[in-house]
C-alpha cells in the first residue's frame, strides 16, 4: 500500500517569514504523524530558507514512522547532515542552489560515478537511498546500476497536464514505473501531487511505495485544517 509522507518545508517557510519559532516545525511533524501521516519529509537547502539543519536534528528523534531527507548531495554539508542524523531514507535531488523548488531529475547515466559513490556511502550507514528522476525508463535503469534502492518520479509534468488529459499525462510515468519495477527498484513519487490528481496516479501505478506531498497539502490545510487534510489525502490514496 502506498504510504503518505508529508513534506513540512512550507511550515518552516511560514515560521521563517516572521522569525522566531512559530509555527513550531518539530511539533508540526509530530502532529502530522498523529493525524495519520506515514512519514515526514524535509528538504534542507544550504541557505536554510525553509527547513534548517537544526530542524532536521530536532525532528529526527521525534519521528516514529519514517523520516525522509531530500537534498542535493553535491553539497558536502548536506551529505554530512544525512550521515549524522541517519534518516530512514535519503532522496538525492539535483536542485540548483538558487532554485525556488526542484525542477528536474538526475541524469543517472551521465552522473553514474557520482551517484554510485553516494549510494554506497549512504547505504553503508543503513540508509535507504532514492534517486529523483524524470519519467524516463533509461533513468530508472541507470539508477539501479548506481545501486539505488528506489527512484522518485518527478511528477510536475503529470500534475500540469492532468487537467487536460489524464491518460496522456500519466503515460510516461507508467513507462518509467514499469522500468523501475523491472530493474528491481522501489518507487516513490512527488512534486505537485494534490487531491485533484493523486488518486488517478495511484490507481494507474498501484505499486507506488510512497508519495511525498508538501505544497498542495499544506495549502489545503489552510482551509480544511491539518488533521482533515491528511485524512483527505489518505482517502485519495486508498480509494479504488
Domain ranges of the chain: 3-238
* pLDDT (0 to 100) of residue 102: 60
CA distance 107 to 153: 13
Q: Residues 177-188: pLDDT tens digits?
A: 999 999 999 999
Cβ-proximal residues to 170 (8 Å cutoff; 6+ apart), any chain? 158, 162, 200, 201, 204, 205
* pLDDT (0 to 100) of residue 240: 86
In the chain, what percentage of residues exceed pLDDT 70?
A: 97
Whether pLDDT at 97 is above 80: no
| Average confidence score pLDDT of the chain | 96
Cell numbers standing for residue 45:
537547502
Per-residue pLDDT band for 37 (boundaries 50, 70, 90) equals very high
Judged on CB neighbours under 10 Å (0-12, 13-18, 19+), 119 is: buried
Whether pLDDT at 99 is above 80: no
Please identify every residue annotated as catalytic.
Answer: 43, 70, 191
CA distance 235 to 131: 27
Average pLDDT over residues 215-238: 98
Per-residue pLDDT band for 46 (boundaries 50, 70, 90) equals confident
The CATH code of domain 3-238 reads 3.20.20.70
Cell numbers standing for residue 120:
554506497
Cell numbers standing for residue 66:
519514517
Amino acid at each position: 500500500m502506498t504510504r503518505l509522507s508529508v513534506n513540512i518545508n512550507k511550515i518552516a517557510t511560514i515560521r521563517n517569514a516572521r522569525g522566531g519559532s512559530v509555527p513550531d516545525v518539530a511539533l508540526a511533524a509530530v502532529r502530522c504523524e498523529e493525524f495519520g501521516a506515514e512519514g515526514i519529509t524535509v528538504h534542507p537547502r544550504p541557505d536554510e530558507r525553509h527547513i534548517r539543519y537544526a530542524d532536521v536534528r530536532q525532528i529526527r528523534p521525534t519521528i516514529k514512522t519514517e523520516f525522509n531527507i531530500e537534498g542535493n548531495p553535491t553539497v558536502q554539508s548536506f551529505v554530512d547532515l544525512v550521515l549524522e542524523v541517519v534518516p530512514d531514507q535519503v532522496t538525492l535531488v539535483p536542485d540548483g542552489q538558487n532554485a525556488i523548488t526542484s525542477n528536474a531529475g538526475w541524469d543517472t547515466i551521465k552522473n553514474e560515478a557520482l551517484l554510485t559513490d553516494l549510494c554506497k556511502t549512504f547505504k553503508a550507514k543503513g540508509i535507504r537511498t532514492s534517486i529523483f528522476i524524470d519519467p524516463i525508463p533509461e533513468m530508472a535503469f541507470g539508477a539501479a546500476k548506481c545501486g539505488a534502492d528506489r527512484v522518485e518520479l518527478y511528477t510536475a509534468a503529470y500534475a500540469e497536464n492532468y487537467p487536460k488529459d489524464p491518460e496522456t499525462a500519466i503515460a510516461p510515468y507508467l513507462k518509467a514505473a514499469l522500468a523501475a519495477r523491472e530493474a528491481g527498484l522501489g518507487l516513490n513519487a512527488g512534486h505537485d501531487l494534490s487531491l485533484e490528481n493523486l488518486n488517478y496516479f495511484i490507481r494507474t501505478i498501484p505499486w507506488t511505495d510512497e508519495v511525498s506531498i508538501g505544497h498542495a497539502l499544506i495549502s489545503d490545510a489552510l482551509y480544511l485544517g491539518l488533521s482533515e487534510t491528511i485524512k483527505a489525502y489518505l482517502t485519495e490514496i486508498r480509494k479504488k
